[in-house]
Amino acid sequence: NKGKYKHYMQKEIHEQPESLTTTMRGRLIRGGACKSKTVLLGGLKDHLKTIRRSRRIVFVGCGTSYNAALASRPIVEELSGVPVTMEVASDLVDRQGPIYREDTAVFVSQSGETADTLQALDYALENGALCVGITNTVGSALARKTHCGVHINAGCEIGVASTKAYTSQIVVMAMLALAVGGDMISNEARREAIIDGLLDLPSKVKEVLKLDEEMKDLAELLINEQSLLVFGRGYNYATALEGALKVKEVALMHSEGILAGEMKHGPLALVDHNLPIVVIATRDACFSKQQSVIQQLHARKGRLIVMCTKGDSASVSVGGSCRVIEVPHVEDCLQPVLNVIPLQLLAYHLTVLRGHNVDQPRNLAKSVTTQ
Ligand code: UD1
Ligand code: M6R
């Protein structure tokens, strides 16, 4: 039932304040003698010691689920102190890459039925790793075969393009980082700030959703483009990949997410006065580097659309010439949850304006159960 919405993708984008609330329900609690806030993930509590002691955490997924894991990687590394490596499920299987008993392998899948992810899971189980699932689907093959895990509880997702599951996956992995890093006094203040940020997320997501009309206007401007680049780095490298994946899969427009740090190692050659480029430059430790990226793209006459923190328009818009998307600020590791939303809206409006099928993009299936 789509209610007042025309498409499931649209409904699922606008549902995110509620889906994120459900994802967090009962999992953020005030506990302990000092009444500090903590995270309780019922599905992981008996395994936290093993995860903390593991030599490495390996994130495995495909498509949007891989991107969600990539967005969470920095905070998991920071709070757990355990090195995190990333694996696209099919590539891990193709390479038969090394997985050891001392590893924790975390499998991320909305459907819990993706063939590549399940094959990678079988492989990791054979190699003796602790296997953790993060899925939206209770009773799925992933939920059944993993040793433990977390249900993201985002509610049923029908549109082929994953939207609300992406933001809920990031929130679950941020909670996983908090739970795994939960015994370190040294990062207590940071953990509290993240928990406050999590509690604030639904209202900030509501605020971002007000950009809907603005994103429709932007889509009108971009309707006939051949291609769209999205530059991001740090926490928002994943946002660039995910924004580009949305535009590609539903609007059927070529789009590429680019790690901004790689700009001079190739992509800069593409920049001219025609090609539209989204640059994600919200406030975090990478902000000044992104400001310099903007200046360099501007110097090559790039057509820039800059996503920045509310109030920062003047510091990102060189010569007042670029289009700006302003988003609210939240703790850095949660910023990807907010930043992806304008790009989801942009992909949605581009699809409608270009006359393509929103919920069933050509050639794609919601759950890829064959290889
Ligand atoms: C569980 C209940 C929830 C209830 C809550 C009350 C279920 C599905 N969840 O939620 O209804 O309100 O207790 O305390 O009944 N698991 C895997 N692999 C996965 C995902 C999960 O093995 O990929 C396992 C977990 O380790 C756990 C179980 O499934 O043993 C349920 O996980 P989850 O729903 O995340 O646990 P709770 O949040 O505690
Ligand atoms: O169900 P899964 O999360 O395992 O699915 C993985 C990918 O097939 C999926 O995310 C795909 O990339 C989406 N259509 C993206 O919107």
Q: How high is the pLDDT of residue 31?
A: 62
189: how many CB neighbours lie within 10 A of its CB? 9
Nearest atom in ligand 2 to 361's CA = 14
Residue 113 Cα to ligand 1 middle (Å): 17
Q: How high is the pLDDT of residue 36?
A: 75
Alpha carbon nearest to ligand 1 atom 21, residue: 149
Q: Please count the helices (runs of H) and the strands (runs of E) in the chain.
A: 14, 12
Residue 166 Cα to ligand 2 middle (Å): 9
pLDDT tens sequence across 258-317: 999 999 999 999 999 999 999 999 999 999 999 999 999 999 999 999 999 999 999 898
Is residue 259 packed enough to be buried (19+ CB in 10 Å), middle (13-18) or exposed (0-12)?
Answer: middle
Q: How high is the pLDDT of residue 23?
A: 98
pLDDT tens sequence across 349-364: 999 999 999 888 888 8
What's the mean pLDDT in 201-226?
A: 98
Q: How high is the pLDDT of residue 72?
A: 98
Q: How high is the pLDDT of residue 34?
A: 58
Residue 15 Cα to ligand 2 middle (Å): 19
Ligand 2 proximity of 111 Cβ (cutoff 6 Å): yes
- Name residues contacting ligand 1 (CB within 6 A): 42-43, 133, 135, 138, 142-143, 146, 148-151
Nearest atom in ligand 1 to 153's CA = 34
In single-letter form, the type of residue at position 322 comes to C
Q: How high is the pLDDT of residue 35?
A: 64
Ligand 2 proximity of 63 Cβ (cutoff 6 Å): yes
Rounded Cα distance between 234 and 254, Å, is: 23
Q: How high is the pLDDT of residue 30?
A: 72
- For residue 193, name the pLDDT band (cuts at 50, 70, 90): very high
pLDDT tens sequence across 46-75: 999 999 999 999 999 999 999 999 999 999
Contacts of 357 by beta carbon, 8 Å cutoff, 6+ apart: 351
Name the nearest CA neighbour of 274 among 309, 313, 227: 227
Q: How high is the pLDDT of residue 37?
A: 84
Pocket test for ligand 2, best of 162, 168, 368 (most atoms within 8 A of CB): 162
Q: 151, 43 in Cβ contact below 8 A?
A: yes
In single-letter form, the type of residue at position 248 comes to K
Res. 186: pLDDT tops 90 = no
Q: With pLDDT > 70 as the criterion, what percentage of the chain qualifies? A: 99
User: For the residues of 130-164, what is the DSSP string, one character each?
Assistant: EEEEEES-TT-HHHHHSSEEEE-------SSS--H
Alpha carbon nearest to ligand 2 atom 10, residue: 64
- For residue 144, name the pLDDT band (cuts at 50, 70, 90): very high
Nearest ligand, measured from the Cα of 243: 2
User: Which residue spans within the chain are E strands per DSSP?
Assistant: 28-31, 36-39, 56-61, 84-88, 103-109, 130-135, 148-151, 227-232, 254-259, 276-281, 303-309, 323-327
56 φ, ψ (degrees, to nearest 5): -160, 150
Residue 62 Cα to ligand 2 middle (Å): 6
Q: How high is the pLDDT of residue 344?
A: 98
Q: How high is the pLDDT of residue 362?
A: 87
Name the nearest CA neighbour of 68 among 193, 241, 285, 207: 241
In single-letter form, the type of residue at position 92 comes to L
Largest pairwise CA distance in the chain:
60
Average pLDDT over the chain reads 95
Name the nearest CA neighbour of 166 among 337, 352, 355, 347: 337
More confident call, 184 vs 346: 346
Q: What is the CA radius of gyration of the chain?
A: 20
Q: How high is the pLDDT of residue 20?
A: 98
Res. 32: pLDDT tops 70 = no
Angle (deg, nearest 10), helices 63-80 and 237-251 = 170
Nearest ligand, measured from the Cα of 161: 2
What's the mean pLDDT in 141-156?
A: 98
Rounded Cα distance between 262 and 231, Å, is: 10
Angle of CA points 99, 100, 102, to nearest 5°: 135
Rounded Cα distance between 235 and 228, Å, is: 20
Q: With pLDDT > 90 as the criterion, what percentage of the chain qualifies? A: 89
Rounded Cα distance between 107 and 145, Å, is: 11
Q: How high is the pLDDT of residue 263?
A: 94
